[in-house]
Homo-oligomer: A and B are copies of this chain.
Amino acid sequence: MSRLRNLETLVSLAKRRGFVFQSSEIYGGLGSVWDYGPLGVELKKNLADRWWRSMVQARDNVEGLESAILMHPRVWEASGHVAGFTDPLVDCRTCKARFRADQLAGASCPRKPSKTAGEAEPCDLTEPRQFNLMFKTFMGAVEEDAAVVYLRPETAQGSYVNFLNVMQSSRQRVPFGIAQVGKAFRNEITPGNFIFRTREFEQMEMQFFVRPGEDDEWFAYWREERLRWHHELGIAPDRLRFHPHGPDELAHYAKQAVDIEYEFPFGWQEYEGIHNRTDFDLTRHQEFSGKKVEYRDPQSGDRFVPYVVETALGLGRLLLTVLVDAYREEEVEGESRVVLGLHPSVAPIKAGIFPLVKKDGMPEYARRIQDDLRNRFQVFYDEGGSIGRRYRRQDEAGTPLAVTVDGQTLEDQTVTVRDRDTLVQERVAANRLVEFISERVEA
């Protein structure tokens, strides 16, 4: 058995099978923007739903929210993004290329690709200048009169400005959290590695509001909770590790931060972040809006601005990790196959449904099974090609179960159900299929 060796293999599978396409491909694509195809959109929905169930539905003390992408421009002054969300860029006067000043050592000169831009000889570099990473746009009919607004670079601020509204409408008390899933945008200079770093992306963030002094304890709690979540999703534990931020790595608002890193084919990289953002954001919003944003303890009566512990995971990055981690090539039944060993709960298709042959009433029987199952699960009917070939197609799509209608089915109303990983085939009564599949894919 072998793992994924390079990203290109996955990019190619993702396109061929309909997980991920390049955006606007017929126009030559749009830099670092991607579309999710029929299988990709199901996988993405299932991952987001699994996160939501564990973070919101399963907890009394976390509420859901969906704030808009467009927000009042003062939000980004308060958060520090207008002033500080910048990358230092340098231009090369010789080759006209643009580089991040802090990544020169890794950037190669377009004229002499064997040399890095950091080596003085091939490149004639300007002094670094600061470029803001927020996309800006104009709201209102006429550009000159319109308000400049930004596409949010993170969902977190939407949770902060709604802190009081959420707390009051849901009758929560500190400590409690606000979770959301939504798009964010960063005008990155050096995006790349397929869907690892993209300009348009989707975040799954949770802001947990706590009493100052209890923040270290909650930070430790969420760090463990989040690692456990990835383990339960079946991500290989030896390819996950914590990377605590040193003092020089901490963001301006952070007291403490840890990344959960995954070992991608391109190295160990940040996968999810857990941050102690202190009372920085709420205090700033209080200051910039002129509105009190604080909590009054109903027992003791004392008032304070809560501290925030944040968990931040990119949905596209999670999807990439899941695909990378699930990919394997192996020999089975005398043939080589590519399998995505996806956790059944997130697999795009839960079961393939196959008539063994295209005659003797088997297709009709299989169609009836499809009709029974499809209200509850995403299933896929396939009667084309040999049964082995149909198994391989579903292996490659990550489908955990394959239901086959054969000669015996017509006699005793049982079907075979094949397990993607063990290859074991069991005979199951057709009228017990919903229950059988449900037990295997809804955990």
Q: Are A15 and B70 in contact (CB under 8 A)?
A: no
Q: Are B25 and A149 in contact (CB under 8 A)?
A: no
Is residue A72 within 8 Å, beta carbon to beta carbon, of the partner chain? yes
**How far apart are A282's CB and chain B's nearest CB, in angstroms?**
11
Please measure, in the bound complex, the distance between the C-alpha atom of A238 and the C-alpha atom of B371, giving whole angstroms. 32
Q: Are A378 and B165 in contact (CB under 8 A)?
A: no
Q: Within 8 Å CB of A52, what residues of B?
A: 45
Please measure, in the bound complex, the distance between the C-alpha atom of A35 and the C-alpha atom of B70, giving whole angstroms. 10
Q: Within 8 Å CB of A170, what residues of B?
A: 18, 37-38
Q: Are B89 and A65 in contact (CB under 8 A)?
A: no
Complex: chain B residue closest to A59, CB-CB: B374
The digit string for A161-198, where 1 denotes a CB below 8 A from any CB of B, is 11011100111000000001001010101000000000
Is residue A137 within 8 Å, beta carbon to beta carbon, of the partner chain? yes
Is residue A57 within 8 Å, beta carbon to beta carbon, of the partner chain? yes
Is residue A40 within 8 Å, beta carbon to beta carbon, of the partner chain? yes
Q: Within 8 Å CB of A26, what residues of B?
A: 161, 164, 285, 289, 291, 293
Q: Within 8 Å CB of A98, what residues of B?
A: 141-142
Q: Within 8 Å CB of A42, what residues of B?
A: 64
Q: Are B378 and A35 in contact (CB under 8 A)?
A: no
Q: Are B41 and A66 in contact (CB under 8 A)?
A: yes
Q: Are A24 and B65 in contact (CB under 8 A)?
A: no
Is residue A27 within 8 Å, beta carbon to beta carbon, of the partner chain? yes
Is residue A158 within 8 Å, beta carbon to beta carbon, of the partner chain? yes
Please measure, in the bound complex, the distance between the C-alpha atom of A38 and the C-alpha atom of B176, giving whole angstroms. 13
Is residue A33 within 8 Å, beta carbon to beta carbon, of the partner chain? yes
Q: Are A70 and B16 in contact (CB under 8 A)?
A: no
Task: From known contacts A65-B41, A66-B40, A69-B200, infer whether A25 and B161 are also in contact, taking CB-CB under 8 Å.
Answer: yes
Q: What are some 21 contacts across the A-B interface (CB < 8 A)?
A: A18-B165, A18-B170, A23-B71, A23-B72, A25-B165, A27-B288, A27-B289, A30-B71, A30-B72, A35-B68, A36-B65, A37-B169, A40-B66, A57-B374, A69-B183, A69-B200, A137-B137, A137-B151, A138-B187, A139-B187, A141-B187
Q: Please give the residue numbers on chain A whose beta carbons come within 8 Å of chain B beta carbons, in ascending order.
A: 15-18, 21, 23-31, 33-42, 44-45, 52-53, 57-58, 60, 63-72, 74-75, 87, 89, 98, 131, 135-142, 149, 151, 158, 161-162, 164-166, 169-171, 180, 183, 185, 187, 189, 199-200, 285, 288-289, 291, 293, 374-375, 378, 381, 384
11 new A-B pairs (CB below 8 Å) besides A44-B66, A137-B137?
A18-B165, A24-B161, A26-B164, A35-B162, A36-B65, A37-B169, A38-B65, A45-B52, A53-B375, A98-B142, A135-B139
